[in-house]
Amino acid sequence: MEHLDYETLNTLRQVMEEDFDLLIDTFIQDSSDRIVKLREVVGGTEADPIRRAAHSFKGSSSNIGALRLTTLCHALEKKAMSNNLEQLDQDLLEIEQEFAQVQELLRTLA
């Protein structure tokens, strides 16, 4: 699966115009915060905060066209929803690695 959906990003560039760079910066900053938040809740024992955090991250990822990141967040959301809290560290790691990739690719666009 592609990391990024370039069609979505092109549309966003048209819509945002000069604010496109700001959007990318915001997404990177926002996502970094979310990963910190995710790490925090994954360390806990409650499923709902994990589901919510994954859900929000999924939403913003899908809007920016980060296809694989969206899929990973969705998978984590579904696990939390079914109360399956095993090997969450692994899921978090995959999300972190994917975000690092996305971040690098986005920087080249901005």
Partner 1 sequence: MNDMRRLKILVADDTDTDRLILESIVRKEGHTVVSARNGVEAIAVYAAEKPDLVLLDALMPELDGFGAARKIKELAGDELVPIIFLTSLSDTESLVQCLDAGGDDFLSKPYNRVILQAKIKSFNRMREMHSTMLTQRDQIVQYNNRLLQEQTVAKHVFDNVAHSGCLNAGNVRYFLSSLAVFNGDVLVAAMRPTGSMMVLLGDFTGHGLPAAIGAMPLASTFYGMVPKGFSMTDILREINAKLKNTLPVGIFCCATMMDINFRKKHLKIWNGGLPDCFIYHHKDRRISAVKSTHLPLGVLSNRAFKDNCEYFDLEKEDRIFAWSDGIHEARNIAGDMFGEERLKAVFEKNMEPENLFKEIIENVQQFVGSSEKDDDLSLLEIRMDEPARVNEFAQQASDKYGNSEIEWAMRFEVKPTSFKVFDPLPMLLNVLMEVPSLRAFSSTLYTILAELYTNALDHGVLKLDSELKSTAEGFADYYRLREERINSVTEGFVRIYITHKTNENGGLLKVRIEDSGDGFDHSGRSENTLSTFGYSGRGIALVEKLCGRVTYLGAGNVVEVEFSWVSDD
Torsion of CA 44, 91, 38, 12, to 10 degrees: -160
- The minimum distance between CB 89 and partner 1, in angstroms, equals 24
| Contacts (CB under 8 A) with partner 1, residues 27-86 | 27, 29-31, 52, 55-56, 58-60, 62-65
- The minimum distance between CB 73 and partner 1, in angstroms, equals 10
CB under 8 A: which stretch of 17-25, 41-49, 86-94, 95-103 binds partner 1? 17-25
